[in-house]
Amino acid sequence: MLPQKTLLTTILLLCCISWLQAQEKRLPTFEESLSLSTVRTPLISPDGKHVIYSVSRTDWKDNRYDSEIWLAKDGELPFQLTNTDKGSSSGYLWSPDGKWILFSANREEDAQLYAIRVAGGEAVKITQVEGNIGQFDWSPNGQQIAFTMTEKSTKADKEREERFGAYQVDDGEYKLASLHLIDFKPNHPKPKDLPCYEKTDSLKKVNCIQPIEPLELVKSTEYTVSNFAWSPDGTRIAFNKQKDPLINSWFTSDIAIVEIASKEVKDIVTNPSADFVINWSPDGEEILYSSAVDNFDSVYYTNDRIFKMPADGGEATELAASFDEDKSVVDWNPTGIYFIAWQKTARQVFKIDPGTNEVIKVLAAPERIGSVSFSKDGTQMVFDAASGTTVPNIFKATVGSSVPTRITDQQAQIEDWKVSSSEMIAWKSKDGATIEGVLHKPADYDPAKKYPLMVIIHGGPTGISTTKPLASYVYPMLHWLDKGALILEPNYRGSAGYGAEFRKLNVRNLGVGDAWDVLSGVDYLEEKGIIDTARMGCMGWSQGGYISAFLTTTSKRFKAFSVGAGISNWMTYYVNTDIHPFTRQYLQATPWEDKAVYEKTSPMTYINQASTPTLIQHGEFDRRVPIANAYELAQGLRDQGVMAKLIVYNGFGHGITKPKERLAAVWHNWQWFNHYIWGEEVALPFEQE
């Protein structure tokens, strides 16, 4: 038996070891990082008591991301409300009386609308239609549901495919969407409730039960219907109408109102450029909408504009015109018009007084608000939000209160993880523009040391990088930090949050000015004496991939690049992309009007200068940045004797949207940069067995 003093010492030692072990952080695996569940898009019940929100999880077995609806009743723990096998439940909405939740789910062949009681029970199928359902919403009295739906395939469509196979005429074939109404009768008998016989002489014949058929409220052969909004009294619906659903036809969108009783349609906003309905005023007297008015040349990077006007027609009034950022309007309730906007790297909630046009900041914390929902009277709100040290969570608050209540505990998923320590820094670019960026540091950061530097460039260009605890997309940030690297994410010119003038700084200067901003950020860190300039890597996806491609052909500062879905030649891009106006607006010309600006801003123009090993990652069926850009860059680099590795992710478009292929992309970046920055040879897990 141990002496009492020795026993006490042993107990204290064991307690210390236990405490240290409890405090010890671990590095998550790539799979764990990609498996983090995410909460988003909370909606508060009309009476302000309950909250529904989406929880997204990773399904590795079926290689997909699954989203289901969760319910947090007042004073109770949240629980999962829906479960769509092999699919997701989405687009959820509270009924006006707060007793039902409407949502879309693909539980059979086509996605249909379902409703489920808040009090409990199974979901009830509301629609049984052929065609793709788009937007949907309850009528104000909850007795009907309006929804948009594209045309179903016709007999002629099927006969053509049977005879000639599959083909399409570019920009010449599409299905228009119409606006429909369906009665909400959850207790309506189902066809299976009674037998149905075809033989007329059967003694058992009964009238067959048919599903409730929707009413086609608005249908046209001249336009397609998109977003819509019910009037508060339920007698009218305002909707967007554009000539067709093609991706670049949004410039043709106008706003019309349909009278429910008569089906009469009246155009109310018909500016030359795009008009989009947002909402009605609470009294139904006015319409709130966004509009590009007559702008066809710069809407991709100028501030959006919002207006209100009498619902019966009249003069429009622009709101918050002096607010220097894009405004994401979320509600117009009795207390005001609410919107969310970036303010540098913070995303905050603001209110417009519709009478005085005064803009007031409503919610500045937590740091980054994702989405917001208000109770019918505007006194209660819910939102999802994150910060530089936390993952997104759902919060509830009384409007005007600075102390919200947290509903979810997503942070528990990463409590024992090694995470990033990040901060905002700023520097001057080549032309004097002030550029900000996020600097991530290892947990044991020592300012006296020099670290390898990894530069991760966001997409957009009107994207934004913020302080955050975790890696994102296909770049293993936490693992590079754990290896002892610094990571810089520059908010180069064109990024959101810094005002319209900043977003215009790369017009006719794409790539060139962006490269100044990245390289000047590297210079800034070099002057601080904290980076090892002999060990630097650079990467990005989409616009970030383009900037990486521009740098790999114009700079010798880095040891390796990764170009994800990046543009290599603006002329090739312009004729192949699905968003031609984007190029025309940023370069202010077509290739046939100004070949010089296309050459100036294209990485391929400088291919003879390239010398840095480059990994190229691209989706096989990318329409946004067609894969021709990847092949062109790869061949150009190889012709110069530069090491270029092209990896094509089969079946994907502009993004890698399934977990297994996203995991592969993470491993590919891990292998590539570990080899060129750290001199390590990394095998994929199956190659190690």
> Is this prediction's pTM over 0.85?
yes
Write down all domains in the chain, each with its CATH number in brackets: 417-678 (3.40.50.1820)
Does the pLDDT of residue 19 top 60, yes or no? Answer: no
Mean pLDDT of 144-173: 89
327-383, pLDDT tens digit by residue? 999 999 999 999 999 999 999 999 999 999 999 999 878 889 999 999 999 999 999
Residue 320 reports pLDDT greater than 50: yes
> How high is the pLDDT of residue 117?
95
Residues 237 and 258: their CA atoms lie apart, in Å, by 5
For 422-426, what is the mean pLDDT? 96
pLDDT at residue 191 in the model: 63
Q: How confident is the model at residue 628 (pLDDT cuts 50, 70, 90)?
A: very high
Give the mean pLDDT of the chain. 92
User: What is the pLDDT confidence band of residue 472, given thresholds at 50, 70 and 90?
Assistant: confident
Q: Which two tokens stand for residue 87?
A: 């699919």
Give φ, ψ of 543 to 5 degrees.
Answer: -60, -35
pLDDT at 198 over 80: no
CA gap 376, 353 in Å, rounded: 17
CA atoms within 13 A on the CB side of 555: 24
Model confidence band, residue 533 (pLDDT cutoffs 50, 70, 90):
very high
pLDDT of residue 153: 80
Q: How confident is residue 193, by pLDDT bands cut at 50, 70 and 90?
A: low
Residues 535 and 338: beta-carbon distance below 8 Å: no
Closest CA to 597 of 512, 472, 540, 505: 512
Q: How far apart are alpha carbons 561 and 643 in whole angstroms?
A: 11
- pLDDT surpassing 60 at residue 22: no
Q: DSSP letter at 609?
A: G
Per-residue pLDDT tens digits for 65-112: 999 999 999 989 999 999 998 889 999 999 999 999 999 998 887 889
> Is the bond preceding 461 in cis, omega lying within 30 degrees of 0?
yes
Coil, helix or strand at residue 50: coil
User: Average pLDDT for residues 540-549, to the nearest whole number?
Assistant: 97
Which are the contacts of 239, defined by CB distance < 8 A and separation ≥ 6?
179, 218, 225, 226, 227, 228, 229, 255, 256, 257, 258, 277
**What separation in angstroms does the CA of 524 have from each of 50, 255, 258, 527, 538?**
49, 50, 58, 5, 16
Phi, psi of 587 (to 5 degrees): -95, -5
On whether the CB atoms of residues 72 and 78 are closer than 8 A, the answer is yes
pLDDT for the residue 187: 85
User: pLDDT tens across 100-138, in order?
Assistant: 999 999 888 788 999 999 998 899 999 988 888 999 999
- Provide the pLDDT for residue 23: 61
pLDDT score of 597: 97
Handedness of CA 425, 427, 429, 433 (dihedral sign): positive
Q: What percent of the chain has pLDDT over 70?
A: 94
Identify the pLDDT of residue 394: 97
In this prediction, residues 252-270 reach a mean pLDDT of 96
Q: What is the mean pLDDT of residues 2-11?
A: 46
CA dist 689 and 685 (Å) reads 7
Q: What confidence tens digit (pLDDT) does each residue in 389-421 have?
A: 999 999 999 998 878 999 999 999 999 999 999
Cα(84)–Cα(178) distance, integer angstroms = 27
